[in-house]
Structure 1
Amino acid sequence: MAVSRISVRKDHLSCPLCQEVLRTPAAIPCGHSFCMLCIQVFWDNEEKGNRFCSCPECQYSFHLRPNLIKNIALAEMVEGMEKSKCRNNVGAGGKRRPVEASQEAGPSPSHALGGARPMKIPRTTGAPEALKSRICPIHDRLLEVYCCDDEQCICPLCALVEHRAHNNVLANEGRKRKQEQLQDIKKESKLRINMREQEQKDLRKNVKRVKEGVRAAEEHCEGVLSGLIDSLQRHYSTVRELILAQETAAVAQRWPSLSNLPEPPDLSSVSADALLPFEALRSAVSEFGNRLEAFSEEEISTVSQTVTSAAQTLEPTTRTEFLQCESY
């Protein structure tokens, strides 16, 4: 075949999308050629994003999706190159060509991932540490795919084997999703922080109001008790003066004058009736004291219960209760 005598470099017969030898080559209207499956998957992804079909190489856009037809001449060139390589490999030792074996094994990882471009890289011996962290330790390929289920970066071959049934996307898409999630978390966290800060401000205001109310209640109670004590002191002074006046009057009545002392009177004539007014006064004062004490105990008990109930009511535990306290 004449085609087999033409010297063609392998990169001229490689698909720009999967970076491998063309499989069922198809030329699009702009003149570039791709694997038929690769360009179909690429255009499917563009249509899903509501974009026009375009050429991955020159970015030329097509208003209508072109119909793909197998490029027979280019396919014969690829076949001739494969046969020539195969003869050279067999002559060198009977070993099969790696590319041919990969074609028999099935579609490449890039086909399964919708046009991803897995890069073949050399062995990692002596590679920088930064590069090693981006290379799959099993398949020696770049970690270009993100597994959403396991939340880790994998290579295209891992996506076809270990993570075949998982939700896999390109690493850039996974990174974009994570950034969007991070932005949502930041917004939600900022909103929560603002709410907490506002709650703390409301709490400080209500605590201040409660303290002021407590001080006002203490001052009022002290004023009432001080007035009550003053009133008792005045009543005590009045009763004492009354007792002294009655005592003076009784003495003056019994003994009008002490200047001219007559014969010593018969003390037996002094009856106990003269002490009756004092006994009545003492009884009245005692009864008044008992009533005052009973009244004080009853009222103090009532006040204590009121204060205890008010203290329990003024101890809000939720944000709603604090807002209710503030409304008062």
Structure 2
Amino acid sequence: MAQAGAVFLEQDQFNCSICLDVLKDPVTVPCGHSYCRVCLKGYWDQDDYLGIYGCPQCRQSFAPRPVLGRNTMLADVVDRLKKTGLGSPAVPAAPPAPLAEPTAAEPGDVACDVCTGRRNRACRSCLVCLASYCETHLKPHYESQAFQKHRLVPPARGLQDSLCPRHDKLLEVFCRTDQHCICYLCLTDEHKAHDTVLASLEMTEKKNALAEMQRTSQQRIQEREKELQDLRQATQSLTLSAQAALEESERIFTELVCSIERRRTEVKELIMTQERTAITQAEELVRQLELEIAELRKRDAELCQLVQAEDHISFLQNYRSVCTQPATTDVPIITVDPSFACMMSAVSEFQALLEDVCQGGFVNISEKVSEVTIIQNTLVKVDAEQNTGKSSNNLLI
């Protein structure tokens, strides 16, 4: 017996709006619309990089990505539909939620392909029509049965690039053998027996690989930032150390110069003192020699006078006093050409010795200074395994 007030439904009402087939393992999003679990997962995987997930029908957005739960009641209805079928006039699909006022397309936006004059910003692109629509011109895709099987995606440019140049079909398969996208018809001829996979699955795998590359890149950035910080600290430390070394070396060399100046003054005083002492001794000896010469000249005169005497009595009386030898002064050895040649030779030897010491000290200082560095290059050995596939870098320690 027929149930009173029965509602006759069309089978299309239980179709997934993504794959346009009867729902398989139906899941319901928070806005109330239902889809195949696999279809909705693949649809959201395409927008995974945005971090915002929307309903393909009403375009309501969710963040974070909702956890999909199986709609048990709808799954039971679909199972019964498959077994018994429902035949009745089609009921038009409910229109989407009221749309906001269209927004004019700005530079960089995808513009509506239907608008004339002032073009509005597109909100969806159709992979069947190969056109983009604003919210106003998208309404037929939700209200008319003729567009129910069209696939809508976020606004995209270059929709013609999504078609196979040979078969004018959507590029939905990725050929791993030839590394490019193909359509389903390509699988039957030139790409037969090739390693192929759904383009959405390949994108997911490559995104995972890119995520790993990004993680490695971010880790490397952190390492380089740490090395940059250490390098800046080392540079600052080296600058402070160099300034301290300059001040200390300036102090030491100033003391050395002062010490040389003191020695120079002392040598000058030694020479002048020795000159005064030697001249004083020579002047005293000159005075004594002059006195002795005067006495000798006086005695010589007396001898001459005595030799000329005629009176023998007077001669004999004065002879004894005149013949007595006067006291003489012992004269030291006198250098005929005195000079400071030996002293000047000693100064020259001191100069040569000092220059040798300074040269040796400078070489030692120069070697120690050249050892001070921030970066030391260390050669990294590359083994056979690295030569076959892995890259190697020169480490900066």
CA contact (8 A) 2:176 2:197 kept: yes
**Long gaps (5+) in structure 1:** 1-11, 21-41, 43-53, 72-120, 323-328
Aligned to 2:344: 282
Q: Which moved further from structure 2: 225-234 or 272-281?
A: 272-281
Instruction: Flag the 1:164–1:59 CA change in 2: closer, same or farther, 3 A.
Output: farther
Contact 1:123 1:140 in 2 (8 A): no
Instruction: State the 1:235 CA deviation.
Output: 1.0
- Give 2:169's aligned residue: 141
CA distance in 1, matches of 2:343, 2:170: 111
User: What is the match of residue 242 of structure 2?
Assistant: 214
Give CA deviations for 1:95-139 in whole Å, capped at 9, x if unaligned: xxxxxxxxxxxxxxxxxxxxxxxxxx7999xxxx95533332322
Name the % identity.
30
User: What is the CA deviation profile of residues 58-89 of structure 1, one whole-angstrom value per residue up to 9, with x for unaligned ones?
Assistant: 64499xxx9xxxx9xxxxxxxxxxxxxxxxxx
- 1:258-295 Cα distance to aligned partner (Å, 9 max, x none): 99xx68x89xx996528658444334333333322332
SS where residue 136 of structure 1 aligns?
coil
Find the partner of 1:306 among 342, 346, 368: 368
Change in Cα spacing, 1:61 to 1:295, as seen in structure 2 (3 Å) is farther
Once superposed, what is the RMSD of the aligned Cα atoms?
5.0
2:194 maps to 1:166: yes
Structure 1 residue corresponding to 2:207, chosen from 179, 183, 188: 179
Q: Provide the residue aligned with 1:316 in structure 2.
A: 376
CA contact (8 A) 1:144 1:171 kept: yes
Which residue of 1 is the match for residue 233 of structure 2?
A: 205
How many Å separate the matches in 2 of 1:149 and 1:158? 13
Q: More helix per residue: 1 or 2?
A: 1
Counterparts of 1:245 and 1:302 in 2: how far apart (Å)? 39
> What TM-score, normalized to structure 1?
0.51
TM-score of the superposed pair, with normalisation by structure 2: 0.43
Q: Which residue identity does 1:289 align to in structure 2?
A: Q
Q: Post-superposition shift, 1:229?
A: 1.1
Give 3-state SS (helix, strand or coil) of 2:335's partner: helix
299 and 177 in structure 1: CA distance in 2 versus 1, 3 angstrom threshold? closer
- The aligned counterpart of 1:150 is 178
Aligned to 2:353: 291
SS of 1:146's equivalent in the other structure is strand
CA distance in 1, matches of 2:129, 2:396: 68
Preserved contact between residue 235 and residue 374 of structure 2 (Cα < 8 Å): no
Distance 2:276 2:265 in 1: 16
Other structure's SS at 1:133 match: helix
Distance in 1 between residues matched to 2:77 and 2:220, nearest whole Å? 47
- Give the aligned length: 221
Counterparts of 1:168 and 1:302, CA distance in 2: 71
- The 1:173–1:315 alpha-carbon spacing in structure 2 relative to 1, beyond 3 Å, is closer
Partners in 1 of 2:363 and 2:20 — Cα distance? 93
Specify the SS of the correspondent of 1:163.
coil
| Residues in 2 aligned to 1:302 and 1:209: alpha-carbon distance in whole angstroms | 23
Q: Which moved more, 1:182-191 or 1:286-295?
A: 286-295
Q: Return the offset for 1:298.
A: 2.8
> Is 2:130–2:159's contact at 8 Å kept on the other side of the alignment?
no
Greater relative contact order (CA < 8 Å, ≥ 6 in sequence): 1
The answer to whether 1:237 aligns with 2:265 is: yes
Aligned residue for 1:285, secondary structure, equals helix
Residue 280 (structure 2) aligns with: 252
The code of the aligned residue for 2:231 comes to L
Relative to structure 1, is the Cα distance of residues 274 and 305 closer, same or farther in structure 2, using a 3 angstrom cutoff? farther
Partner of 2:167: helix, strand, or coil? coil
Which letter maps to 1:307? Answer: V
Alignment of 1:51-200 (within 5 A): 59-60=75-76, 131-200=159-228
> Match of 1:300, as an amino acid?
F
1:159-184 residue CA offsets vs partner (Å, 9 max, x unmatched): 23222222222233223223222322
CA contact (8 A) 2:173 2:184 kept: yes
Q: Does residue 273 in structure 1 map to residue 273 in structure 2? A: no
1:206 positional shift: 1.7
CA contact (8 A) 2:172 2:198 kept: yes
Q: Which runs of 5+ in 2 are unaligned?
A: 1-10, 22-37, 39-70, 84-127, 132-156, 295-330, 379-393
Q: Residue 146 of structure 1 contacts residue 171 of structure 1 at CA under 8 Å; is this kept in 2?
A: yes
* More displaced 10-residue stretch of structure 1: 285-294 or 233-242: 285-294
CA spacing shift, 1:283–1:192, aligned 2, 3 Å: closer
